């Protein structure tokens, strides 16, 4: 792990980066209020808010009933009145109980009233731990179809910290997807003293340069894609890996520049393939850069099935480096 001696730069785990982003935002702005099930005292399902009720008080760290619709509705109203609520879903899957308030109220409020809704909803999600169909889904695509929502899915620790701070500052509703598998496995350097952007803006980040094909991914799958790129390099194949920490709004410049350079594009995501974000990315690339492509765009995704409890059955469904490598070789042979 690299070291950095600059003041304010510390090594954190992914879960600690989120903890510190919340705490630092609350210290910087008294209007930031946390809401969620068992987040006071207990610290929430993953202990991310542990100790916050002692420091900030129960008025700013509020336990809510098991009523996601009511929580999001109250938070939307509070945001209209100048509060900056941050809601923790115990698991991303549970947003279904608050879907209407998210997509028909929070997302559309500015278009109806021209008043900002600075609301953040945090989504611990994803598989890899055999947690079954109610605690493992990757549901970002449900919301990418909804104008008015910003959607974030960081893969790296520094992005998790920076983008959560920016999400809290943003005047729009932001859905912040955190992959549970990364919580205690991913570590990195974070500069907590750096200025915080006041809005979420999306652009791809080139995590590895390459010339033979472009691979797009986000969240946990970015790390698996980077593993695959290392394996491809040993085979003499140069893969460029672009991480997409912000899915909406999505910047296409970096993506199209890369595809025009490599002439091949692959999308890797953990969500199920039908209706997944890979389809939208593929369409945008085809519309803007079809003349640059030397092979069909390929997707490596989860099959159209609910996540099983059995870890072995789950593992063969989640995209892994072997599947990415095999798909890349097929593309190069086209």
Which residues are marked as active site? 135
Name the nearest CA neighbour of 60 among 68, 70, 52. Answer: 52
In this structure, the strands spanning 246-248 and 150-152 are antiparallel
* Sequence-distant (≥ 6) Cβ neighbours of residue 19 within 8 angstroms: 48, 49, 50
* Sequence-distant (≥ 6) Cβ neighbours of residue 313 within 8 angstroms: none
Cβ–Cβ under 8 Å, residues 155 and 224: no
CB environment 293-328: b (16+ within 10 A), e (fewer): beeebbbbbbeeeebbeeeeebeebbbbbebbbebb
Cβ–Cβ under 8 Å, residues 86 and 49: no
How far is it, in rounded angstroms, from Cα 169 to Cα 163? 10
């Amino acid at each position: 792990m690299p070291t950095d001696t600059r003041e304010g730069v510390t090594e954190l785990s992914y879960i600690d980066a989120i903890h510190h982003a919340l705490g630092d935002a609350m210290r910087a702005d008294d209007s930031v209020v946390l809401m969620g099930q068992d987040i006071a005292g207990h610290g929430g399902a993953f202990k991310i808010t542990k100790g916050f009720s002692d420091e900030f008080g129960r008025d700013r760290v509020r336990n809510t009933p098991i009523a996601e619709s009511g929580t999001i509705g109250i938070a939307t109203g509070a945001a209209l009145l100048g509060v900056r609520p941050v809601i923790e879903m115990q698991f991303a899957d549970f947003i279904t109980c608050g879907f209407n308030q998210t997509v028909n109220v929070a997302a559309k409020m500015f278009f109806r009233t021209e008043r900002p809704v600075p609301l953040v909803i945090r989504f611990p999600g994803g598989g890899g731990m055999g947690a079954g169909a109610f605690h493992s889904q990757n549901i970002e695509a449900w919301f990418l179809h909804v104008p008015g929502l910003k959607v974030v899915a960081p893969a790296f620790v520094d992005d998790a910290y920076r983008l959560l701070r920016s999400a809290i500052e943003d005047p729009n509703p932001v859905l912040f997807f955190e992959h549970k598998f990364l919580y205690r496995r991913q570590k990195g350097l974070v500069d907590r003293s750096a200025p915080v952007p006041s809005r979420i803006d999306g652009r791809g980040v080139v995590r590895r340069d390459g010339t033979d094909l472009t691979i797009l991914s986000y969240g946990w799958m970015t790390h698996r894609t980077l593993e695959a790129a290392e394996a491809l390099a040993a085979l003499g194949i140069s893969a460029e890996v672009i991480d997409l920490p912000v899915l909406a709004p999505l910047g296409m410049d970096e993506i199209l520049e890369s595809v025009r350079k490599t002439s091949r594009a692959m999308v890797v995501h953990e969500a199920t393939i039908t209706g997944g974000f890979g389809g939208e990315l593929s369409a945008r690339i085809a519309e803007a850069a079809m003349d640059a492509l030397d092979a069909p765009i390929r997707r490596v995704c989860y099959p159209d099935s609910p996540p099983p409890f059995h870890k072995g059955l789950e593992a063969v469904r989640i995209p892994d480096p072997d599947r990415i490598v095999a798909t890349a070789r097929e593309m190069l042979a086209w």
